[in-house]
Amino acid sequence: MDAAGHSVTVEDDVTARIAGQKPRVHILTGTVCNNNCIFCMEEDRDGRRVTNSATTDESVRWILGRQANYEEVCFTSGEPTTNPRLPHWVRMAKQAGARFISMMTNGRALSYDAYTRGLLASGLNRFYVSIHGHTAKLHDGLTRTPGSFVQTLAGIDTVARYKRHGIALHTSTVVTRRNLPHLAEIYAFLRAHAVDQVVFNVMQANGRANTYFDQLFPTYTEIAAEAAAFLTDANRRERPVQAYFVDIPLCTTTMLPDHNRGYVENYEHFEPPNPGHDIVADPDSRRAGAHGELVQIRRSDLDDSARHKRPECGTCRHDRVCEGVWGNYLRRHGWAEFVPVT
């Protein structure tokens, strides 16, 4: 039994799920985004311009040649729909035999039915749409882009019309102090718009999320308490509740049903060597690309450079899959709320 009284099996256990996940590859699509989210982790636009401009037809073809290693090919970084090559790259992924072809998007361009149908015809079969509230006031306040809520919701509704063709529709809501009190309303709203899975992403404390940390970042304990209250009520009406809380240390969410304790997928991407960052200690050991012009970057590289564990973490049942705690979070709140699960 877990802390909430739910039966836990090897198949359900979040630790086993994380340990057994197959990696996903991210293909970086560009530097441009037509939203201006206050919590955006990609604040270094000049650096991203160097990194993402390295994505060409040739580099995409090389990455797709490795697609048997991945469960999913995902187009992301910047806003993918602003890149005119996106439909072509999706078509290349389909021709390469990728089973799941997805995109992380703010969904605004999907409000145009012809554009969405073109992506579907090219082979896109999973959508991760970012939406951060159930009202225009809440969402537009966080994206700092008036009118973005109306377009994003229209994009969700457009994709929903094609779900009968086997299209998966997921959403991503970044949890902040502003929308944390509205988890139940956001979930009910999105499920009413035919969203399959509602993912609540806890902020990653870098980029603008670090700049505005004190105004935006709830404590993990606060998030877990609100999530537990929401899920307890939602479980009376729907089982299982299709809501997932990710990027939050597992030791703080033991009161949640295991089904709703998610995780950020194990992913990697490829970018040119960049002397301006030291995420990879030895870039030459990760040389990649048809001509060795790229470096392999894994999610764990970010975790190792920005997150921390203490010796007590070694006694926790989740230690082998735990990503640790953001250093800038610990500087503000310390270790008190992180109790090893034994």
Which domains are assigned to the chain? 14-307 (3.20.20.70)
Q: What is the pLDDT tens value at each position of the chain, 342 positions in all? A: 344 444 443 334 788 877 777 789 999 998 889 999 999 876 655 555 666 667 899 999 999 998 778 889 999 988 999 999 999 999 999 999 999 999 999 999 999 999 999 999 999 999 999 999 999 999 999 999 999 999 999 999 999 999 999 999 999 999 999 999 999 999 999 999 999 999 999 988 778 888 899 999 999 999 999 999 999 999 888 989 999 999 999 999 999 998 999 877 788 888 887 655 556 667 777 888 888 888 888 877 765 568 899 999 999 999 988 889 999 899 999 999 999 998
Residues 6+ apart with CB under 8 A from 253: 224, 227, 245, 261
What's the one-letter identity of residue 184? A
Q: How many C-beta atoms surround the C-beta of residue 342 within 10 A?
A: 7
Separation of alpha carbons 138 and 149, rounded Å: 9
Angle between helices 113-122 and 148-160 (to 10 degrees): 50
- pTM: predicted TM-score of the whole model, two decimal places: 0.90
The neighbouring-strand residues paired with 128 are 104, 170
Predicted pLDDT of residue 136: 98
Separation of alpha carbons 62 and 335, rounded Å: 43
